[in-house]
């Protein structure tokens, strides 16, 4: 049986393009819950290591920072959300003239 690990991932990235790349990557792992915060479920330690490697490749280690907090089951179940605002993902679009 594979164990799912819950992570809270947040970032502070200076460059707009790198920030968009990180957000796009993380959106494949879980929902965006704040502008620079995602809640991600990773199915194994290898998935976690793989994600960390992808993040390292995308950021500038001097200017940027990504934090990953492992949440235990108790912490995940004890989540409290105050307010109903949701973050809408930006949809890419084409303008054809």
Query: Tens digit of pLDDT for each residue in 7-16?
Result: 999 999 999 9
Tell me: the pLDDT tens digits for 15-33?
999 999 999 999 999 999 9
Number of domains the chain contains:
1
- Is 56 a member of any domain? yes
Residues 6+ apart with CB under 8 A from 93: none
Q: What is the model's pLDDT at position 51?
A: 96
Q: Other C-beta atoms within 10 Å of 21: how many?
A: 17
Residue whose C-alpha is closest to residue 13's, from 57, 60, 69, 68: 60
**Containing domain of residue 66, as a range?**
5-77
- Is 38 a member of any domain? yes
Strand, helix or coil at 92?
coil
pLDDT below 50 — which residues of the chain? none
CATH code, domain with 39: 3.30.70.240
- Is 89 a member of any domain? no
- Is 43 a member of any domain? yes
Q: Other C-beta atoms within 10 Å of 18: how many?
A: 16
């Amino acid at each position: 049986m594979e164990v799912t690990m819950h992570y809270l991932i947040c970032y502070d990235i200076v460059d707009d393009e790198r920030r968009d790349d990180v957000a796009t990557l993380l959106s494949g792992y879980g929902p965006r819950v704040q502008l620079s915060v995602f809640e991600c479920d990773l199915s194994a330690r290898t998935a976690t290591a793989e994600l960390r490697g992808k993040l390292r490749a995308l950021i500038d280690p001097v200017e940027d920072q990504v934090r990953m907090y492992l949440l235990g089951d108790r912490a995940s179940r004890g989540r409290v959300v105050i307010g109903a605002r949701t973050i809408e993902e930006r949809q890419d679009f084409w303008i054809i003239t």
